[in-house]
Amino acid sequence: MRSTETILNSYLHYILEHREARKIQKFQLSCYRPLNWQPDDTFDHSMTFKTLVLDSELKKAVWDDFNTFVNAKEFYGRIGKAWKRNYLLNGPPGSGKSSLIAAMANHLNYDIYELDLAVFPSDFNYNFFVDRIPNRSVLVIKNVDCRIEQPENPDQNEEMLLHCTDGLWSCCGNERIIIFTATHKETQLAFHYLEIQHNEIFREIEGLLEDAEVSREEVLGELKKNSDVGASFQGLVEFLRRKKLKMDEAETSTRVDAKEWN
C-alpha cells in the first residue's frame, strides 16, 4: 500500500511537472524568416498593450479594432471572407512599429513570420511563402516602400503582393494578422502620383514648413502655379524661404525696438 502511494505521488508529481513544462513551451513564441520559414529565433519580447507607449485615443482605437477582429470568426464566415486583418504601420525607425507588433503577437499568442521586401528581388514569388504560413500567425511584411529608389516594375510588384494578401490566395488561411510596415509612405505616394523618386526636396520643404508661418491654401496656391512637378516644388521652396526671411526680419526688428525702448 505504501509503495503504491509512493508510486502515485511520484507519478503525479511527474505529470504536474510535465504539464507545466508543456504550458511554458506552448506560450514560447517564435519568429520565422524565409527561406522555407525556418525558426529564426525564440520570440522573447515583453511588450503588451498595457505597457505600450501610445497616444491613449489611438491605443484604444487599435485595441477595440483588434479585439473586434479576434471575436469575429462567425461574422467572417457568414459573409464569406477569410478571417484575417490587415494593418499598415508607417513611421521612421524607432517610432514603435515593432513594439506594437510584439504587443499584438503576445496578446494572441501567435508566432511571427517576417518577410522583408528590401532583401528580395523584384520578381520574388510572394505566394510561395505566404501560402506556407500556418493559421493563427502574424505575418509582418516589412519595407513595402523599399522599391521606390529602384522601381523596376512597381505596378507588378504591388499586384503580386496584393494578390497573395487580399486576393484568392488569401482565402487559403484564417486567423491571420497581416502587418505592412513602411518608413517613407509619403515618398511612395509622391513617386506613384508624381513620378518623383528623390526626397531631398521633401526634407527641405518639411523643414521650411516648420519654421515659416504659412497656410495650407498658400501652399496649394504655390503648387498650382506650374504644371511641371519639379518646377512647382522648387517654386514652393523659394516661396517658403521668402516667408521665413520675412519672419526672421520681423523678429529682428522687434528685438531692436524692444532694446531701444528699454
Residue 20's pLDDT band, with cuts at 50, 70 and 90, is very low
Radius of gyration of the CA atoms of the chain, in A: 27
For the segment 191-203, what is each residue's pLDDT rounded down to a tens digit?
A: 554 555 556 777 7
For the segment 206-248, what is each residue's pLDDT rounded down to a tens digit?
A: 888 888 888 877 887 887 787 777 788 888 889 999 988 888 8
Average pLDDT, the chain: 72
For the segment 84-121, what is each residue's pLDDT rounded down to a tens digit?
A: 888 888 887 888 888 999 998 888 888 888 888 777 66
Contacts 24+ apart (CB under 8 A), 230-237: 230/196, 233/196, 233/201, 233/205, 234/201, 236/205, 237/201, 237/204, 237/205, 237/208
**pLDDT value, residue 200:** 74
Task: Check whether residue 117 and residue 172 sit in a common domain.
Answer: yes
Task: Check whether residue 213 and residue 98 sit in a common domain.
Answer: no
- Asked whether residue 148 is assigned to any structural domain, the reply reads yes
Task: Check whether residue 135 and residue 67 sit in a common domain.
Answer: yes
Cβ neighbourhood burial of 24 (10 Å; 0-12, 13-18, 19+):
exposed
Mean of the pLDDT values across residues 138-161? 65
Q: How far apart, in whole angstroms, are the C-alpha atoms of residue 114 and residue 90? A: 16
CB-CB contact of 117 with 90 (8 Å): no
**pLDDT value, residue 27:** 42
Task: Check whether residue 164 and residue 237 sit in a common domain.
Answer: no
CB-CB contact of 132 with 111 (8 Å): no
- Asked whether residue 2 is assigned to any structural domain, the reply reads no
- What domain range is 233 assigned to? 198-261
**pLDDT value, residue 25:** 39
Task: Check whether residue 114 and residue 237 sit in a common domain.
Answer: no
In the chain, how many domains are there?
Answer: 2
- Asked whether residue 225 is assigned to any structural domain, the reply reads yes
Task: Check whether residue 141 and residue 234 sit in a common domain.
Answer: no
Task: Check whether residue 106 and residue 170 sit in a common domain.
Answer: yes
Task: Check whether residue 63 and residue 171 sit in a common domain.
Answer: yes
Residue 159 belongs to a domain with what CATH number?
3.40.50.300
Mean of the pLDDT values across residues 137-158? 66
